[in-house]
Structure 1
């Protein structure tokens, strides 16, 4: 199950409008990996409920805070210096690759957590997106709509 989530996330993120939507939600405090995992569960027809959302949030928190966010902060911190120094730019790319590996690990752990969850009514995508976006959902309904459209235009598994 977890092998599919990374391909799904890469494909979804590459679709028009998804990257800026995810970044807007991230800037508002949403966890993009959690959102992409929620989109994946919704796309697969997995039932969304408060317990599943809480379990995913609890699982995501330490990986996000201890792995993903520090790598992202370091990469962003080096942005200006990387423009001036090719060696720093190369190091920054290495940090970016580590950040992506950390995000992949997080997505795979989230997918594994739901491997035994049952299918729902097939229309839980909105619940997954809103539940995973948290408080950012209210501020960025347009971004969630962009994600929803991109997910619903993917071929079903």
Structure 2
């Protein structure tokens, strides 16, 4: 886990990339009626917009709330430190999914006067994917890459 501001920056840049790219691919696939190779390329167009939004939200707002909340739930001195990792991951998704779903609703969905219902539907569609992608794939992969990068620096 990151210990310095520089490490937090590197970790956040990596995590946001893997989460946003996967979620953009997922949403494009939903809109296209399924996954195909075109989704991967199309995702880069939305990534250019969604990546900075997600990074700014995560790094300057959500991560502070997440850490405070996670340390209230888990005491790493008394519990397995991995419980803290799980808490941070889960709470991050609980915050970022609604925020990023709102951004996607406003930017990419022609919701008109139905912004709130479309936003709620978007959260409902995105949350299971975001949660399991974070817990099972993006989280472990980014922690692995982060350890490799920090050993080399």
Q: Does the pair score TM above 0.5?
A: no
The alignment's TM-score, normalised by the length of structure 2, stands at 0.38
Which structure exhibits the higher relative contact order, with contacts defined as CA atoms closer than 8 Å and separated by 6 or more residues?
Answer: 1
